Structure 1
């Protein structure tokens, strides 16, 4: 009887076990991104932190090798009916995505999944770049940056200076003094397609100079390039003169050392590059070298304006299930938390994209610590003035191709094949042809 009872209980327990639903597998979503190298490792860490934080969703993060490849591979996958749930798109690809009708707007995604997001918490300069004309956020700002002036404090001390130049006139005098003090490369720069954004785009931004009509394209697809008629012509002319005098040198992989490495090694004493390089320079510079960052110089008599935000944002694509969108919303909510802003900025150099993230980092003394001191300069540079007093960025189609044409024009200038004005006029002419092709592709479409 006892054996029979135990047998019955065991049978019942086994039956109950079979009847109990097993724990559901986490919903998997794909996140494709363009970062490579050290930054790719950091993206993977962010993904792992999210996966470890809960059991309902798992984000599979895959580097596509470059921003451009991420977009092109996503287009191919979308056409094949298998797009990733989330894709990282660089800043200049924003308009292409906005007009694609292939995305689930970030503001709608979050609301549909029960998240109340204070979109005004995003810094105005960052929010304006990724929002519609009505202020609706279509994507989530992720790795945001802007350009800064990096300068070698040790070298400047030898010429009797304790501060970075605030104007280009002052910078030119500093270059001459550094050259006279025996420094072979006072200023390093690059004119390649991937790096010319510091020279034309950020220069135009802080000087309040238009890159194109229609408020840099925000006012319509019929915008035309105008940077061949602005102070950029003077800057390109000065840069060529400094180059001819040996005060400034082109540093790129083709020369054997890129401009960031040239500064970190102490071979060059000033350069312009992203705040995102702050961490890399900190890790690779000689520990005995003293260096700092400052806002980009402006020409004398110029009212300083906001710089442009660079980097990329995250877009959620159409073609997925409600469960996948729930997982995507959970991931985007996770990365927007102040704790994640602190981690991300610590390991990369990118800036926090929200005010609460910035305040959280300050409350933890982030900017008081030597490895990170100076990175707050990027926040200040993006917020010199209220948004609305100048273009919030660039909204031009196929702008990566336009960057390529600018690089070609600069190559002609520095190879003495064409003078500055002629080269920039022809660059603008080729760039406008690119804009007209883009306009024809989206004929009849209105900017959101």
Structure 2
């Protein structure tokens, strides 16, 4: 229903978009397109090559050259940095008064608070803005104005090893927490090293945590956007994890607070894990090692399916150099279906637009990703529109593992995290 509404909106705005394009073409001299003054856009992007290759650099350089050919008078200077460095690099550029025109990084809200960014509607065409998947577009808003444009995304599902299930006599995936615990116990009795891998280590503990909060019917924030980390539902989820999975030894030989996602994924790819939460890139990792797997929604307490967790990286346009129209022209081009799909294909990620998603769903080579794609339109994302989220997320990464350790209570740990979050949020108001 939501997708259909957005399609109607997209159709209704086509005439307006055509008029906007005509106006832009008529005044192309103001863009520097075809005029005497050449504009160079500085573009900083994150590197998606986990194996050290140069695919990200090649993609953006090729896209930039194609754009330049179609738009004489505008050049694009591309700079690629690893995910370990790119957010810091952009922050340093902004601090030094040398902000890029466009950045594709992990967060945007701090720059909105400082008045550094153009609103999305100031840059891109109406069809481009209307084409973003609704939950991703909403996650890019601050005070109901969109500043962050989702670039690529992913959702989370529970993976399970089909061979290990068959050997243990388990004939279907669990739908409730009680069934999950029972299956994990059966897998342990069959000698499975990690019946349910629970990575609450500092690499990406905020993601694993949110998976369980959503399955409990809650999340990091309440209906008005205030942090609710210690809600009754969230405490219930971690009480289940502590008492029914971690306590009985069903999460493997490494304490959840010490287990990172990378190691958990590697163990699944070796056939050592019965169940774990994962994103699309785990499919390729498992297939390379011949692991037979299936993906299902994470079980819930009552068996009722709830929204999956979604994640997106962000594109944004900086005001400093005054290149609003040129930025918009480049972003409209970057978000064309062919370009969105080319990037998603190369790096096993999900497109963030309605039309590209529909095309991927219709392509037979993407049948295995259909469940992830189907989950995105109703997915719930981190509260990235809050300037406090970066600090709150870091606190969760470092501390949430303690919630399932012996001697601690989930309510106590989640309560402390909730108080810390409220304090950070208040300080940044």
TM over 0.5: yes
1:132–1:229: structure 2 CA closer, same or farther, 3 Å change rule?
A: closer
Deviates more, 1:183-192 or 1:94-103: 94-103
Matched, 1:80 2:83: no
Q: Quick one: which of 73, 78, 93 aligns to 1:61?
A: 78
Distance in structure 1 (CA, Å) of the matches to 2:172 and 2:97: 56
The CA deviation at 1:108 is 1.0
Larger Rg: 1
1:102-139 CA distance string (max 9 Å, x none)? 012222112xxxx44253322222121113555x5323
- Taking the aligned partners of 2:61 and 2:87, their CA distance within structure 1 comes to 23
* Aligned residue number for residue 351 of structure 2: 352
Q: Structure 1 residue aligned with 2:189, among 177, 180, 190?
A: 180
**1:358-380 CA-partner distances (Å, limit 9, x unpaired):** 22223332323xxxx1x221232
Q: In the alignment, what sits opposite 1:312?
A: 313
1:424 aligns with 2:376: no
Query: Which of 219, 227, 248 is 1:245 aligned to?
Result: 248
**Structure 1 residues 243 and 62: CA distance shift in structure 2, 3 A:** farther
Retained in 2: the 8 A contact 1:402–1:434? yes
Which residue in the other structure is 1:376 paired with? 370
After TM superposition, list the pairs within 5 Å mapping 1:296-307 onto structure 2: 296-300=298-302, 302=304, 304-307=305-308
**Alignment match, 1:8:** none
Deviations 1:226-260 (A, max 9, x none): 22122221221222231232211347896697111
CA-to-aligned-CA distance 1:290-320 (integer Å, 9 cap, x gap): 1122222221154x33334312110111112
RMSD: 3.2
CA distance change for structure 1 residues 392 and 336 in 2, over 3 Å: closer, same or farther?
same
CA distance 1:29–1:251, change in 2 (3 Å): farther
1:157-202, Cα deviation, whole Å (9 max, x unpaired): 2233354322222211111111122212111122133312233223
> For 1:128, which of 120, 138, 141 is the aligned residue?
138
* Runs of at least 5 residues in structure 1 that lack an aligned partner in the other structure: 1-21, 218-222, 440-448
Q: Name the counterpart of 1:117.
A: 127
Q: Secondary structure at the match of 2:146?
A: coil
SS at structure 1 position matched to 2:114: coil
Q: Which moved more, 1:31-40 or 1:341-350?
A: 31-40
Post-superposition offset of 1:410: 2.6
Match of 2:6 in 1: none
Q: 3-state SS of the aligned residue for 2:301?
A: coil
Is the CA contact (8 Å cut-off) linking 1:143 and 1:312 kept in structure 2? yes
- Asked if the contact 1:130/1:137 (under 8 Å) is kept, the reply is yes
How far, CA to CA, are the matches of 1:94 and 1:321 in structure 2?
Answer: 18
1-side partners of 2:420 and 2:157: how far apart? 29
In structure 2, how many angstroms separate the alpha carbons of the residues matched to 1:58 and 1:364? 34
SS of the residue 2:194 aligns to: coil
Tell me, which stretches of 5 or more residues in structure 2 are unaligned? 1-33
